[in-house]
Amino acid sequence: MGAVLALALPLAACDSGGDGDGPDSPAAVTTSAPAPPPKVDPAVYRRTLESALKPVDKALRAMNRTDDGGALNKAFGTASDAAGAAADALTAAPTPDDAATANVSLTIALRALSENLKEASTAHGRCATSPRVELASTDGPAGLRDASAALTGLGYPARVAAPRTEKPKKRRLDNGTLVKDGGRGGLGRLTIDNGTASDAVVSLTRQKRTAFTVYIRKGRSATVRAVDDGSYTVYFSSGTDWNSARKSFTRDCAFQKFDDKAAFRTVAVTGGTQYTVLKYSLAKSVGGNATTSDVDEDEFPS
């Protein structure tokens, strides 16, 4: 039978008294979980929500009552500021757990609406559609509606007026309508052929005075008679949706002029009178002998 060898190993005792010669003893670490945030009183949040949205509602209602023009642009700016301020207030507001997600959605919607209103209110110039039409092409109004409905459905009324928007218009005048007539008493005759894809207006000016402006629908021609003698600059503008108040199109505008002037002259000849008859084509064509240049909208005669 084999022998079993037993080894006796000395055990070192650890002195807990701590004379500085032995290893350090493990220290006990006490940790505590942070206290949960206090519950937000739903009634308090409802009052915060009402206070934040009240100026937005007021501004939007005033905007909805305002007519087109400078006053409407100003109303859009006021509503934009109110929506931005409401977003800031609600971002910092303590929110009940069941409203947290919907509150974030509302702040996002308010910021988007604020930016949309601001951009729509800065569309100026002769070729500018109504801010309501610009706003209709954005996601701001729908986003505000959906976010407000979500909070209201949770028991937190988010009362705010829906911004009034409008669909793009396509207003047109009858072909050959004289938008402006400064008075004519000559024998000259001008025919304009509009072979472009847009309606147009043609204006003849002499010494910074507009003699007349005529409206020509796309694919049509129009003739103006009784043009007085003289040398005229021929301007033309094309676009979509004629705004009679501004005497301009509101979308897809272009402003140009013919480089050469149109000269009308009446002379007596044997057996009668000779007068000028001119024809202009607005569509570019091969072999055309009239060049054009773009002009700034401010240069176009009103």
What's the CA gap between 180 and 165, in Å, rounded? 31
Length of the chain: 302
| Secondary structure E strands in 88-216 | 178-181, 188-194, 199-206, 209-216
Q: Is the pLDDT of residue 4 over 70?
A: no
- What are the tens digits of pLDDT across the range 8-31? 444 444 444 445 555 555 566 666
| Structure tokens belonging to residue 17 | 């008294």
Rounded mean pLDDT of the chain?
Answer: 88
User: pTM for this structure?
Assistant: 0.72
- 38, pLDDT greater than 80: no
Residue 169 tokens, joined? 């218009």
CA 162 to chain centre: 17
C-alpha closest to that of 280 among 241, 229, 236, 228: 236
Residue range 198-231, pLDDT digits in tens:
999 999 999 889 999 999 999 999 999 999 999 9
pLDDT tens digits, one per residue of 121-145? 876 677 878 899 999 999 999 999 9
Beta strand 188-194 with 277-281 is parallel
Residues in contact with 115: Cβ distance below 8 Å, sequence separation at least 6, in sequence order = 80, 140
State the sign of the Cα–Cα–Cα–Cα dihedral 191, 196, 197, 200.
negative
- pLDDT > 90: percent of the chain: 74
Model pLDDT, residue 32: 66
